[in-house]
Amino acid sequence: MDDQGHDTADSAEVSGTRSFLPAVEGMRACAAMGVVLTHVAFQTANSSGWYGRLFTRFDLAVAVFFALSGFLLWRGHAAAARGLRHRPPTGHYLRSRIVRIMPGYLVAVVVILALLPDAHADLTVWLANLTLTQVYVPLTLTAGLTQMWSLAVEVSFYLVLPLLALLARRLPVDWRVPAIAALAVASFAWPALPWHLPFGVNQMNWLPALFSWFAAGMLLAELTVMPVGRMHQLARRRWVMAAIAGVAFVIAATPLAGNIGLAPGTVGQVVVKTAMGAVVAGALLAPLVLDAPGTPHRILGSTTMVTLGRWSYGLFIWHLAALAMVFPVIGEFPFNGHMPIVLILTWVFGFAIAAVSYGLIESPCRELLRRWESRHAPSPRDSAISPRASDGRRVEVDGCDLFTFHGDKIRVKDSWRKLRT
């Protein structure tokens, strides 16, 4: 209750409107560990047989990463389209993306290319990797950095998102979800297009081929600012969503979705794998962002998982280098088994390097940006709801509930009033 006797209970109906979602951070950690698992399985010769298919298909963890980006970066635009906040400033958005990705990435590229024995890098390899254009330049995905193809796709999405937001603003609000879904379905035609590319360039490593994975998150972002309905109720049935994700994952691990290893599949197989990746990502994220406020996520939202989530980007960019370190430590060669110990040590070494990267590079750079913007370009966070919120909408800054709008009255939370005094 506030000083006027009004009820200040949480009036938001979907937790995905919060600026910080601990369970989402925990899911980010799981996705990074899944990427490590699939690469360890390959380099320990555990990618054959039925279990090998399952290990290999953990590469769909990349779909979870892409859906996370789609959700987190699109929800500000979804809210703005409904008058719940001002449009996310493009300048702040681009600066935050650059500072989030590039400092840690550039350090990793320089160290790995300079020190990893198997990274045979000429000038072309250096330039392509430093500029995140290795998916467009033939034969520049090199040892220790081959996973960066997905980061190149991610950056492509960052650059395209403002244009997508501009186009979406021209649509009636009710058309936004169908338009995103239609664009995702249209992207399945990408593998069927005739391509005549140089050897070493794969068009399936480009944004249009995998747009449906980002779209899964964008659709969830739209749902977070829509009235609670059947989709929200379905998302809150965790076991149902887990079953959907599990079935899609198993389908993706069958021959319907392609061959084991690096052999290319047919157009139909590629479409099945891509579609199942979108389903897996959407089904895993939906219970975390469409649940009711205050819903506990004891494992994913735990302090340990949130911490690992903060280090997940570092694990992603460093894990192949960490994997290369593990084999000499245990005295074994790659493709010679020993998957359990190799996996555990790769996680341990990878997270250790990631923690250092986060503490010495990523976090300080982001803090420098925050300080610069506070002086030169103050702007709301991408995911915060501004005072343009409608009746009953909670206003947040950095995940803290400050006040709630009810008509022309503002109900200030006691915690904020005490902080101000």
CA distances from 205 to 124, 141, 186, 216, 289 (A): 19, 11, 17, 18, 28
pLDDT values of the chain reduced to their tens digit, one per residue, 421 residues: 333 333 333 334 787 788 789 999 999 999 999 999 999 999 999 888 888 899 999 999 999 999 999 999 999 999 999 988 888 999 999 999 999 999 999 999 999 999 988 888 899 999 999 999 999 999 999 999 999 999 999 999 999 999 999 999 999 999 999 999 999 999 999 999 988 889 889 999 999 999 999 999 999 999 999 999 899 999 999 999 999 999 999 999 999 998 776 677 899 999 999 999 999 999 999 999 999 888 889 999 999 999 999 999 999 999 999 999 999 999 999 999 899 999 999 999 999 999 999 999 999 999 999 999 888 765 555 554 433 333 344 433 333 333 333 333 334 344 333 333 3
Half-sphere exposure for 90 (CA within 13 Å, toward CB): 8
CA distances from 111 to 18, 44, 101, 119 (A): 37, 25, 16, 10
Q: At 227, list the tokens.
A: 């009235």
Q: What pTM was estimated for this model as a whole?
A: 0.87
How many of the other CB atoms lie within 10 Å of CB of 197? Answer: 10
Query: Environment class of residue 298 by beta-carbon count within 10 Å: exposed (0-12), middle (13-18) or buried (19+)?
Result: exposed
| Cβ-contact 329, 345 below 8 angstroms | yes
Which of 83, 13, 9, 86 lies closest to 411, judged by CA?
9
- The number of helix segments (H) and strand segments (E) in the chain equals 16, 3
- 394 forms beta bridges with 404
